[in-house]
Structure 1
Amino acid sequence: MTSIDEAKQAVRDRVWRRLEREGAVPEGSYGKIPGFRGSEETAERLAELGVWRTARTVKANPDWAQFPVRVRALQDGKLLYMAVPRMATLQPFYLLDPETLSVPPEQAAEKKGAAKVARRVGVDDMSPIDVVVCGSVAVSRSGARIGKGAGYSDLEVALLIEAGLVTDATVIVAPVHQLQVVDEDIPETEHDFSVDLIVTPDEVIECSDRHRPQGLIWEHLTSEKVAAIPLLEALAHSRPA
């Protein structure tokens, strides 16, 4: 573990313990993207923003914390791309189209519901993304964020950037509890991305220090990580020698 990894883990530990101590998350949230109390209000606050109202396509993580946002996206008629957990297939995104759903948005937006009713798609079959909704453990007011440490959000965003689906026009949003917003600096590496907006039940924070990778950074990927993600393994085999 590098010094940056250790510093990130220290921030995670403090935030997880603070959330549990203050009763802001259910028991057993330590180690996870926390499904925080007030996530429904946060989704409503996000839906009031102009960037949301004009968005036609939304990409979101499958974490429980983002469930109200995924439901709202479908209710608002937006095309929703939901990451397949752990990017476990060659088509690592679920496509949920509110115009063709056969079940209510509340069912389709769940992990199990999406697995049953959504079509799995790869980047070649996706439309440009207007809003990315990312799960986070902690975010700074400048826009730096950290997840739970598995790296899937970073890989998803990098993959979409490389495919030209996440561009400078795409807005990246972190819906979090107020206790997840930290005043301290969060260390960043080349493959990390920052967020443009932080939305909590209490406020909307516009972040000024945008950072995004240019795409996948292969030298940061271990052979074990590449082998565990079918699409990465396929892309690795197709790269020039």
Structure 2
Amino acid sequence: MTDLDQAKAAVRDRVWRHLLAQGVVPDDSYGTIPGFHCAEATAERLAELEVWKDARTIKANPDWAQLPVRTRALQDGKLLYMAVPRMASLKPFYLLDPAALSLPLEEAAEKKGAEMTAQRIGVDEMRPIDVVVCGSVAVNRTGARIGKGAGYSDLEVALLIEAGLVSEATTIVAPVHQLQVIDEEIPEAEHDFRVDLIVTPDEVIPCEERRRPRGIVWESLTKKKVTEIPVLEKMFDARSSTPFFD
């Protein structure tokens, strides 16, 4: 583990422990994108924003914490993309079209429901993304964020940037509990992105220091990580001169 990894892990540990001590998340939240009390109010606050009202396509993480946001997207008639678990497919996203679902919207927005009813699609079948909803363990007011450490959110956004589907016109949002908004610096690597908006049950926080990778930062990936994600392995094979830095 690098010094940067250790610094990130320390931030996660502090935030998870604080959330549990304050009783605002379920007891099994350590190590997860924490589901938090009043998540429904966060979804409602997000839905009041013009950037949400104008959006036609939403890409959201599949964690329980953001279930109210995904449900609201379908209720509002938006196309919703969710990543297939661990991106373990050449078609690494689910497409949930509220006009074509065989389950009630609340069920379709769940991970199990999406697996049952949604179409799997490749990046080449997707429309440009208006809003990215990302799960976070902690964020600060510059927009720096930290997830649970698996790296999938960063890879999903990088893949969509590489494909031209996440652009400067895309808004990246972190719906979180107020206690997940921290005042301290969050360590960042080259492949990390920042969010444009933080939405809590209590407030909306614009973040003006935008930071996004140019696409996939191959130098940050190990051979093991690439071979675990079929779409990345296929892309890497087309870039055979790219070295791995294990």
Q: Which residue of 2 aligns with 1:173?
A: 173
Instruction: State the 1:4 CA deviation.
Output: 1.2
Q: Which residue of 1 aligns with 2:56?
A: 56
Structure 2: tracts of 5 or more residues without a match: 242-246
Q: For residue 168 of structure 1, what is the amino acid of its counterpart? A: E
Q: Which residue of 2 aligns with 1:84?
A: 84
Does residue 184 (structure 1) correspond to residue 223 (structure 2)? The answer is no
Using structure 2 for the length normalisation, give the TM-score.
0.97
Within 2, Cα distance between the matches of 1:112 and 1:226? 26
Does residue 149 (structure 1) correspond to residue 183 (structure 2)? The answer is no
The ranges of structure 1 where at least 4 consecutive aligned residues each deviate by more than 3 angstroms after the TM superposition are: none
Instruction: State the 1:92 CA deviation.
Output: 0.7
Within 1, Cα distance between the matches of 2:88 and 2:65? 21
Within 2, Cα distance between the matches of 1:218 and 1:12? 25
Q: Which residue of 1 aligns with 2:125?
A: 125
Within 1, Cα distance between the matches of 2:132 and 2:73? 11
Identity over aligned residues, as a percent? 73
Instruction: State the 1:88 CA deviation.
Output: 1.0
Within 2, Cα distance between the matches of 1:147 and 1:236? 25
Q: Which residue of 1 aligns with 2:195?
A: 195
Instruction: State the 1:104 CA deviation.
Output: 1.0
Within 1, Cα distance between the matches of 2:210 and 2:190? 12
Q: Which residue of 2 aligns with 1:234?
A: 234
Query: Which deviates the most, 143-152 or 101-110?
Result: 101-110
SS at match of 2:225: helix
Q: How many residues align?
A: 241
Q: For residue 239 of structure 2, what is the amino acid of its counterpart? A: R
Within 1, Cα distance between the matches of 2:195 and 2:147? 12
**CA RMSD across the alignment:** 0.7
Using structure 1 for the length normalisation, give the TM-score.
0.99
Q: Which residue of 2 aligns with 1:66?
A: 66
SS at match of 1:172: strand
Instruction: State the 1:101 CA deviation.
Output: 1.3
Q: Which residue of 2 aligns with 1:140?
A: 140
Q: Within 5 Å, which residues of 2 pair with 1:28-67? A: 28-67=28-67
